[in-house]
Structure 1
Amino acid sequence: MAYLVKQIENSHVVWFEKSNQWVKLDEPQWFIFLLYEKQTLRKEAVKQFAEAYELSTEQAAEVVSNIYDSIDKLLNPDFALPDFSRDAEEVSRIKLRESRTRHYRHFEKYFSITYGSPSLEAYIHLPFAHLETKAAGKQIFHLDVFPYCGRYALRLHTPMIRSMTADESPQIKRLLFVELASWLYDKTEKQWMSFVHASAVQKDGKVLLLSSASGSGKSTLAGLLMLQGFDLFSDDFVPVSAADTMLYPFPAALCIKNESVPMLESMGLPPSVKSKTTPVAYVKPTQENLIPNAAPATIFVFVNYKKGAGMKLEPVSVPEALQLFHPEAWVGDNMERAEKFIEWFSDLEFYRLEYDDNTLAVQAMETLLAEK
């Protein structure tokens, strides 16, 4: 069995390599896991579990069966991890007939993206619109992104053409972001430990990570903090290095939506570009001329904007934080990166913020960071 175990507080966290899943086990579940690990037959496991926890045979059998079945599926998943190399050779040979190329500059690095459809252009270009330049410069890195047979394709013009495909547009966008981050910082994909779906802001060398599902208020809160002197570090995509667990800034603009657009604009944070078809806008970083530096994570806050909530801020245990974190991040799918990740994650400080009062939420975040 290929898995990794880490005891955190009163729980055990287990990572299963084949399914790339993290699972928190409480004490009774850990008892059953150890029986499974010893290849104890179910009948005997039921007997031992019933005796240890003073349960009836029927009660113990139900729990043991559920845990054994779950471990079976985690070790031998009935799903395949995404294969982004499918049809790569054919994609590499395709000639784009209708396309548009845009050029970008991030400090002294230039890159260009050729878009094979207007929808992909609108989806991917707008976060980089503030970086656009009229002509390509030196150190050029070129990417093509285009529809392919009902799916999406990404093609990289490195010394040798390299291609990837994905079923969904968010997947192809993430792949493009990964390749761009790797090029900007002279790394390979394997040198990243994780990519976190969070809005990250920075002040006085300290980085605050705001994480949540889309539409839960993290980007709006990041914008409010920018109005109070915080710098945008990254939005929605935060690369974490495997070598030193440092966070690296990514140059995409802050994405704000719906009523947050006019609210932030009226407060003095105007968008640099707005979508023509959806209520989405992008706010460029306020520190455009400052060379971005990697920084350690200081505090991690799980954000949820909820009307009627007032302002509730509470600490979150590491095991619970892992359950909240995993759906909002990608973590490297090999043992070395998994070990590095859980050691890094175990040392972080986590909070849950539920709010509908912007002023109180901003004050709470400023206080949290000032105390570190």
Structure 2
Amino acid sequence: MKQTHQFLHKPIEDKTIVWFENTNEYLILENTTADILKRLSKGLSVKEIATALAKKLSVPLDKTIDFVLDLEKRLYTPKTKKEVDIVNDYRDVKIPDSFEFTKYYKVNNVVFKISYSSETELSYVHPKFAHLTIKKPVKFDHFFDVFIENKYIFFYVNKEFIGAWSPKEIHYFQGKFSMELIQKIHNKEEDKWMGVFHASAVSNGKKSILFLGDSGNGKSTSLALLQANTFSCLADDFVPIDVKKQEIYSFPAAISIKKSSLDTLLPIYPELKTTAEYNFTRLNKVVRYLKPNNNNFFNHLPCNDLIFIKYQQDAELQCTKIASVDAFQQLVPDSWLSPLKDNAAVFLDWFSTLQCYQLTYSNNEEMIATVSKIFDDDL
């Protein structure tokens, strides 16, 4: 029985973006290469495809056969999953009878009880959500348990085991924690989300814009400046987008402010002077957290624009449209994208409609004015 190759393809500009179901990978390919994949998926033999390619490119047949075989092998061989080496099987691990810390967080009308077995687990989660803390309520809607056993961090939601992670995988735990949180806030299971972006999302009340860029480029600082100038923080660092409407959904985490941004932001947010400081040695950064000005964490808005933003001292403001394929290559590696075929198809269609910009600035007022023009489709 001939192997079936499951993939999606989307022409964008002069390239083709291809998604592979067996690995949940996206690649940007030359159109000729993408055409070979289409032929393979239709059941054409390697020799048929290679013969046509040799004729088209005027190269020896043995070369094109090797090329097609290599392409098929590299692109269709399933990735092997690395087994998680937990010292004891998680089924033998029991939720502790008592926890050192219990916090209650309220997101609009949804109340969470989060229990942490020690200060270590507390530090992984609480700082971003401390602004949501309330006194012990009469009742709560969901309870999360976080504890360390045999050096692994375990995570349960409403007594259901979610996962366990080694000390080197704390960021995966934090991502899963956030995913469970948005599922409960917005009443959407994981298969209803198209993806989650490592970005910042700002809103004008009618739509949103995504800020992207490497750590230290100024995403969160720009977001803080904008929320002090009539805009709203929709999400910071963890930006979810749904499948049904392809809209950015609010996420209630605080805005992460690096120490290097304090001089800029203290005149606007004097509360940062006395806000607790957190030293994340693993990430080599020291941050404080700023409460977002969002007052509706159920909010969700369309997004038409991506901005790769960069603060650069003494730079003249430059804002130019960039190629979609270039934006795609920067967006995807730091994102969680749904492994479901239908959701992947929606993501490709949604991405193809976006306007993508590169914005470099040093003057805050000029940056704010430029973002306003993009919101108004006036750039």
TM-score, structure 1 normalization: 0.87
Quote how far apart the aligned CAs of 1:226 are. Answer: 1.4
Quote how far apart the aligned CAs of 1:251 are. Answer: 0.8
Match of 1:304 in 2: 310
1: CA distance between counterparts of 2:73 and 2:307? 33
- Equivalent residue of 2:293, what SS? coil
Assess if the C-alpha contact under 8 Å between 2:6 and 2:41 holds in 1. no
> Are positions 1:324 and 2:330 aligned together?
yes
- Please provide the CA RMSD for this pair: 3.0
**Which residue type is aligned with residue 20 of structure 2?**
F
Quote how far apart the aligned CAs of 1:36 are. Answer: 4.4
Assess if the C-alpha contact under 8 Å between 2:239 and 2:249 holds in 1. yes
Quote how far apart the aligned CAs of 1:98 are. Answer: 5.4
**Which residue type is aligned with residue 4 of structure 1?**
L
Match of 1:201 in 2: 202
Quote how far apart the aligned CAs of 1:77 are. Answer: 3.2
Match of 2:283 in 1: none
Match of 2:253 in 1: 252
Match of 2:375 in 1: 369
What count of residue pairs does the alignment treat as equivalent?
365
- Equivalent residue of 1:259, what SS? helix
In structure 2, the CA distance between the partners of 1:44 and 1:306, relative to structure 1 (3 Å rule), is: farther
> Are positions 1:9 and 2:13 aligned together?
yes
1: CA distance between counterparts of 2:24 and 2:358? 25
Match of 2:162 in 1: 163
Choose the corresponding residue for 1:335, options 341, 348, 351.
341
Residues 184-227 of structure 1, C-alpha deviations (whole Å, 9 max, x = no match): 11121111121121111111312111122332221111111112
Match of 1:75 in 2: 76
> Are positions 1:315 and 2:293 aligned together?
no
TM-score, structure 2 normalization: 0.85
> Are positions 1:89 and 2:87 aligned together?
no
**Which residue type is aligned with residue 125 of structure 1?**
H
Choose the corresponding residue for 1:23, options 23, 27, 49.
27
Long gaps (5+) in structure 1: none
Assess if the C-alpha contact under 8 Å between 2:47 and 2:65 holds in 1. no
1: CA distance between counterparts of 2:263 and 2:298? 29
2: CA distance between counterparts of 1:82 and 1:224? 44
2: CA distance between counterparts of 1:126 and 1:74? 41
Residues 123-152 of structure 1, C-alpha deviations (whole Å, 9 max, x = no match): 310111111112134343111122333332
Assess if the C-alpha contact under 8 Å between 1:195 and 1:331 holds in 2. yes
Match of 1:192 in 2: 193
Identity %: 27
Long gaps (5+) in structure 2: 281-285
2: CA distance between counterparts of 1:81 and 1:293? 38
In structure 2, the CA distance between the partners of 1:308 and 1:67, relative to structure 1 (3 Å rule), is: farther
Q: Return 2-11 or 331-340, whichever deviates more.
A: 2-11
2: CA distance between counterparts of 1:64 and 1:307? 52
In structure 2, the CA distance between the partners of 1:308 and 1:45, relative to structure 1 (3 Å rule), is: farther
**Which residue type is aligned with residue 164 of structure 1?**
G
**Which residue type is aligned with residue 341 of structure 1?**
F
Q: Return 308-317 or 122-131, whichever deviates more.
A: 308-317
Q: Return 233-242 or 295-304, whichever deviates more.
A: 295-304
- Equivalent residue of 1:274, what SS? coil
> Are positions 1:286 and 2:285 aligned together?
no
**Which residue type is aligned with residue 277 of structure 2?**
S
Q: Return 121-130 or 266-275, whichever deviates more.
A: 266-275
Q: Return 217-226 or 347-356, whichever deviates more.
A: 347-356
